[in-house]
């Protein structure tokens, strides 16, 4: 049986409308990622200090005449509209609530990619139909929904086999993309650095390679390696097809070149990490589910000025900032790419160098949206990726964010489940002082105490003590030089041994 869980789209809820109020015929107001949640859920997508940046405006497509695009012609301006989509999911395990939560997340992903969610359905079925995913009868019902809503795209909440996508397209007569293609599309829009763009293109080509047959006809795309325009739609951004005859040999050649380029960029990132390790600076990685508030937390902790946007996968390239404990011990904070359920394997592999910021950290701040309907599911999804990048052995602190909007009973449940936790709100500042204290207690500290006499002509060593995470207990200037009592790590202790005070 198919349960219709989304009503026909109407204009988005005004931000000033109190929670629980609805318009029109009493159906929930849709049009934003939050509005797709049930009215009685207190999940919030606001994670503090939202700001719209000019570079994001160039990617955003907005319905009607309220578009924020400023670099289009009058004709393009009037033709501009969101891609209209219908969602389809399969309930084969877990509860109906789990299936609905997954479809709501798919709606949020679709809106982040630049689409207007019109309707959605979930089918109860033990396993997907090998030919059309939903089965021919239910696929016909999906076709009726597509025709009645005027949708131009169907997004399926799973990864489709090439034959399933073609079979479903033959019935619904509009473009069909799956969850993996949707996530890849979002990554293609948000990649900014040269390495990030290369990683996304590699992931898209790996996805495209086994799906060449018939892909060109359904996509009709001509992106040519750049982010597609508004008319291209989801699944068409990124590498693109320069012609329908694009063959496997050419794709493999391009993939090999991209792998070489990514490998060539890796030493620069490793050099930066090596410098931090050489200077014995502890590293703290901020990781978690997408849109959990990681960038807001980094801004709150360091005033880094990092992009904060109510959008999934707004952060792709890791941002590293310096911070200090209350007693002056230096460490780095790294904001990383957000995770999501069923994160495509291609992306885990392509972004492995980026995810190494997590694997190489001394401490992980696992940020959780405590106001989300399924925080436990998000925690499990993130830890699955931790395992894939060999980061499960690293000490982890669960940071329950958005506490100001979360259900107190849910927060208490999570606190009982996760003994190592801190409850915070990046928006209000609640719990930040406690989090800083826990970070200070959790990062590795210097363990070798030394009494040094450093000649005045070796000011570089004094600078090194200040630049590294050495704890300077005392500094006294005497006739022979600077007498210092410090706590340092073993590597630095060996370098300073010749300057140990003998008296």
> Is 180 marked as binding a ligand?
no
DSSP letter string over 96-112?
HHHHHHHHHHHHHHHHH
Does 315 show up as a binding residue in the annotation?
yes
Other C-beta atoms lying within 10 Å of the C-beta of residue 166 = 19
Is 338 annotated to bind a ligand? Reply is yes
* Residue 404 marked as a ligand binder: yes
314 is in an annotated binding site: yes
Q: Is 337 annotated as ligand-binding?
A: yes
What residues contact residue 52 under an 8 Å CB cut-off, 6+ apart? Answer: 68, 309
44 is in an annotated binding site: no
Fill in the DSSP letter of residue 498: G
| Dihedral sign of CA atoms 289, 429, 33, 202 in order | negative
Q: Is 480 annotated as a binding residue?
A: no
Strand order in the sheet with 481-488: 448-454, 481-488, 471-478
427 known ligand binder: yes
Q: Is 223 annotated as a binding residue?
A: no
Report which DSSP code applies to 82. P
CA distance 303 to 325: 15
Strands (E) located in 310-469: 319-324, 330-335, 363-369, 396-401, 421-423, 448-454
β-pair type (396-401, 153-156): unpaired
Q: Tell whether 401 is in a known binding site.
A: yes
> Rounded to an integer, what is the distance from CA 329 to the centroid of its chain?
29
Say whether 403 counts as a known binding-site residue. Answer: yes
User: With contact defined as beta carbons under 8 Å apart, do 439 and 331 qualify?
Assistant: yes
Choose among 337, 290, 311, 344: nearest CA to 61: 311
Is 316 flagged in the annotation as binding? yes
- 131 marked ligand binding residue: no
Tokens standing for 497?
């041994």
426 is annotated as contributing to ligand binding: yes
Nearest to 406 by CA among 47, 48, 42: 42
Any binding-site annotation on 62? Answer: no
Residue for token digits 């159906």? 27
The reply, when asked if residue 296 is annotated as ligand binding, is no
∠ CA(249), CA(252), CA(253), 5° rounding? 85
Is 317 within any annotated ligand binding site? yes
CB 207 within 8 A of CB 333: no
CA angle 417, 308, 153 (to 5 degrees): 90
Which helix H or strand E contains 124, and what residues bound it? strand 115-124
Q: Count other C-beta atoms under 10 Å from residue 429's C-beta.
A: 12
Was 279 annotated as part of a binding site?
no
* 460 is an annotated ligand-binding site residue: no
Question: HSE-up of 44 (CA within 13 Å, CB side)?
Answer: 18
Distance CA 502, CA 176 (A): 76
Question: Which residues, 6+ apart, have CB-to-CB distance to 226 below 8 Å?
Answer: 240
Annotated binding site for GTP: 288-295, 313-317, 335-338, 401-404, 425-427
Binding residues: 288-295, 313-317, 335-338, 401-404, 425-427
Known binding-site residue numbers for Mg(2+): 295, 315
């Amino acid at each position: 049986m198919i349960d219709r869980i989304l009503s026909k789209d109407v204009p988005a809820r005004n931000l000033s409308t109190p929670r629980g109020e609805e318009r029109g015929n009493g159906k929930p107001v849709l049009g934003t990622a939050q509005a797709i949640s049930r009215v009685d859920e207190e999940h919030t997508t606001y994670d503090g200090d939202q700001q719209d940046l000019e570079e994001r405006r160039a990617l955003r497509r907005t319905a009607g005449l309220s578009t924020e695009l400023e670099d289009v012609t009058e004709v393009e301006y009037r033709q501009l509209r969101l891609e209209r989509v219908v969602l389809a999911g399969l309930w084969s395990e877990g509860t109906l609530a789990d299936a609905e939560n997954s479809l709501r997340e798919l709606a949020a992903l679709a809106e982040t990619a630049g689409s207007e969610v019109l309707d959605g359905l979930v089918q109860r079925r033990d396993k997907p139909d090998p030919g059309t995913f939903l089965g021919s009868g239910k696929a016909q019902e999906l076709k009726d929904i597509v025709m009645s809503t005027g949708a131009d795209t169907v997004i399926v909440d799973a990864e489709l086999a090439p034959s399933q996508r073609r079979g479903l397209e033959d019935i619904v007569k509009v473009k069909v993309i799956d969850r993996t293609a949707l996530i890849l599309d979002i990554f293609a829009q948000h990649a900014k650095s040269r390495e990030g763009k290369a990683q996304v293109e590699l992931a898209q080509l790996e996805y495209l390679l086994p799906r060449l047959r018939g892909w060109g006809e359904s996509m009709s795309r001509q992106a040519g390696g750049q982010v597609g325009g508004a008319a291209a739609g989801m699944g068409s951004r990124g590498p693109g097809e320069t012609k329908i005859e694009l063959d496997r040999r050419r794709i493999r050649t391009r993939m090999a070149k991209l792998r070489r380029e990514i490998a060539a960029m890796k030493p620069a990132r490793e050099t930066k990490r090596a410098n931090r390790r050489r200077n014995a600076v502890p590293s703290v990685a901020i990781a978690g589910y997408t849109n959990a508030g990681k960038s807001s937390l980094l801004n709150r902790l360091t005033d880094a000025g990092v992009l904060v946007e109510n959008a999934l996968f707004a952060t792709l390239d890791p941002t590293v900032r310096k911070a200090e404990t209350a007693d002056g011990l230096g460490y780095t904070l790294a904001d990383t790419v957000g995770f999501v359920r069923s994160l495509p394997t291609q992306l885990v592999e392509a972004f492995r160098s980026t995810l190494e910021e997590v694997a190489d950290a001394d401490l992980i701040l696992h940020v959780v949206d405590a106001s989300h309907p399924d925080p436990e599911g998000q925690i499990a999804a993130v830890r699955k990726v931790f395992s894939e990048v060999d980061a499960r052995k690293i000490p982890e602190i669960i940071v329950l964010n958005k506490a100001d909007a979360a259900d107190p009973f849910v927060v208490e449940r999570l606190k009982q489940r996760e003994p190592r936790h801190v409850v915070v709100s990046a928006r209000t500042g609640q719990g930040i002082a406690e989090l800083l204290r826990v970070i200070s207690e959790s990062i590795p500290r210097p363990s070798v105490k030394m009494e040094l006499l450093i000649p005045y002509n070796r000011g570089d060593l004094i600078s090194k003590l200040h630049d590294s995470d050495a704890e300077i207990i005392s500094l006294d200037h005497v006739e022979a030089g600077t007498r210092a009592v410090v706590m340092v790590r073993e590597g630095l202790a060996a370098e300073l041994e010749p300057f140990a005070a003998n008296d």
